[in-house]
A and B are shown apart, each in its own frame.
Chain A
C-alpha cells in the first residue's frame, strides 16, 4: 500500500479486511524520477510519485497531460497521498492518469523476488479494477516518452474538484514523429485508444505550422474518437451522454493542441 486513498476507503467501509500490509510510501527508491535513454527522452517515474509531485512544474513540462490529469484528482489532501502506482494498481476505468498513460504508450515496471518485467499499459490494465500483478509483485516504476508537441487532458464531471470522471480524454502530439495519439477514460472497462482518429490526424494535421485543422477534419476526428468509446449507462451518466461528451472533448482537444502556435522545437 502506498497512499492508501483507495484501499482505506474499503477498509473503513468494512468491505475489506486487512491482514498484513506493507506500507511502501516511505521507500525513497519508489519516489523519484529520472530521464533515461541515449537522448534522455524517456521519463522513468517511480511508482510512489504522488499526484502532487506530478503537478510540479519540473515534471509538468516533461509530461503536461499527466500533470493536468493529476491536478484533477480529488483534492489537495488526496493528491498529497495518492500515487501514480496506486492509480495503476486500482485500475479503475475512471482512473485519471490511465488515459494519459495509454496515449503515451507507457510501460509498467514490475518487480518481485523472481526478477523484473516490463509490461505495456494495455497488458497491465486488463479489466475493470483488474491488473496483471501476480502475488509478491510490486509496481516499481512507469516509463513514458518525453514528446515534442502539445498535450491535453480533458475531463467531464459534475464539478471541477473532487470528482470521478464521467468521461476523460488524453491527446498527445509527437511533432517529429508526425503522429497524434488519443486515449479515452471512463468509457470502457479499460482505457481505449481511438486508432482511426489517430490515423486521420496523422494524415491531415499540420505538424510544421501547427495550424488549426479545417472544420471538416475536426468534425471527422470527433466522430471517429467517439466511435472508439464503448460506454455503459451508470449512475454517473448514460452511454449516449458519454459518447457525446467524448466528441466534444475530442473537438476541443485537437483545436487546443493545434492552435497555430508552434511550440518548442526539438
Chain B
C-alpha cells in the first residue's frame, strides 16, 4: 500500500526536489536524511522536545509532526536559514554564544528558531512571555538561566537593530 512519491519543498528560499519519499515521512526526516540539512535535531519524534523546530509559513512547528508531502510549496525556514549570510551569525545566535547558553548544543537549533519567532512579534518580552515562548523546547544542560539571559541580549540587540 505504500507507494513512493515526488514533491518539492521550498527550504530557506530554495526549491528542493524530494524524490521517492515514502508517504509517512516527516518533514524532519526529509530535511535531515534526504536534503542533508542536519541542523534540525531529531530526539523525541512526538512534539515534546522542540529540538526539530522550524518555521512553516512563518509559524514555528515541530518538523517531526509535519508530513513532509503536506509541506510541499510552503515556506520552510530551518536553522540553516536563520543567518542571512554564511559565516555571519544572526542576533539570536550571537546572543546565545555571548551568554554561554550553549552547552551540549542539541536543543540549541530549536531554541534559536523559537526565540527568533518570539522576537519577530515582540522585541521587548517580559520573562513570563519568554518562558511561555520556549516552553516547547527542552534543554537538559543549562537549567535555562543562561538561555533566558541570551533572550534578553538578543531582544536588546534586535531593538537596537530596528532603531538603526
Contacts and interface: CB of A to CB of B under 8 A. Distances in A.
Nearest to B135: A161
Interface stretch (B8-16, B60-68, B80-88, B143-151): B60-68
Given A4-B67, A8-B64, A8-B67, A17 B50 contact: no
B67 A162 contact: no
A21 B133 CA distance: 31
Interface string A1-27: 101110011011100011111010110
Contacts of A21: 23, 67, 69-70
Interface stretch (B41-49, B97-105, B154-162): B41-49
Bin chain B's interface residue count.
20 to 34
B160 to A, nearest CB: 25
A263 interface: no
A75 interface: yes
Nearest to B62: A77
Contact of A77 (B1, B69, B114): B114
A19 B133 contact: no
B78 interface: no
Interface of B: 1-2, 23-24, 26, 45-48, 50, 53, 56, 59-62, 64-67, 69-70, 74, 114, 117, 132-133, 135-137
Interface of A: 1, 3-5, 8-9, 11-13, 17-21, 23, 25-26, 52, 74-78, 80-81, 160-162
